[in-house]
Amino acid sequence: MPQTLENALHQLQLSRACRFSPAQLAELSRHCGLAGDALALALLEQARRLARVPVSDFRVGALAVAGSGHWYLGANLEFAGLPLNHSLHAEQSAIGHAALCGETLIARVVVTASPCGHCRQFMHELNQQELTIVLPERSQRLEELLPNAFGPRDLGMSEGMLTPAPAGLDCDSQDPLVRAALAEANASYAPYSHNRAGVALLLNDGRVCRGRYLENAAFNPSLSPMQLALSQLLLQGATPADICRAVMVESAAGISQHATAAQTLASLSPVPLYSLVI
């Protein structure tokens, strides 16, 4: 990261930020002289620092440029002792971060390394007309990186993972953490399994880290609600030791998130997962 940007982040109290508003980006640009893709690429180092990679020791940072003008950081996340398919990719982390903030369009994904096939398929689920992938050495459209792709339109879906039809799940509980998980379940995207699911993690300082299920037409690149909630935990500068309660709400369907979510959480924290099926 250029020293001018490092200094600007510190001066503007953004050295731990994982989300940048248009106003903050304008101030950063004014202080460090970088703008557009050059600024986004330079900020990837801030994302890489948030990665947790006990298996590969390979840190990846990503940044999602949303249609609103906000930028969202993401980083890869691995779980020691669990199979590699539990891992969360940086591109998934950044796009999931944007989804949790209500974004409906991703214009560009900026990443430190060329997206793997898993991530290309995940990004195709956005179901947009166009998406640009920005790498340190070049920029390409997603359709160039994933030609003749199979996706939601092949299964008759007009929506994408950021524009799901809202669900109408409800329950009697007035527990704020249960309600937070319920809200994420209602905002989740599960057009293939219909297993709407959301997670809420309460931290010792009162913060709540949320996650929602984001499904994929190719199934395996689907992003679980627990993966996304734990990614938010790290992006917000917390640790698994900060978790004091964990709740998951999911709809009854042919599949369930519970076993995998509980296993993933247990690899990092002794806090039990309370699950509610509606």
Tokens 């940007």 map to which residue?
Answer: 5
Q: At what angle do helices 22-32 and 36-48 cross, to 10 degrees?
A: 100
Two structure tokens written together for 252:
């009854």
Candidates 27, 45, 91, 250; catalytic one: 91
Give percent helix, percent strand, percent coil of the chain, each to the nearest 5: 35, 20, 45
* CA distance linking residue 160 with residue 63, whole number of Å: 19
Number of H helices and number of E strands within the chain? 9, 10
* Alpha-helical segments (H) within the chain: 3-11, 22-32, 36-48, 90-100, 117-124, 142-145, 176-187, 225-235, 258-266
* CA distance linking residue 111 with residue 120, whole number of Å: 12
Note if 144 is an active site residue: no
Residue positions annotated with a catalytic role = 91
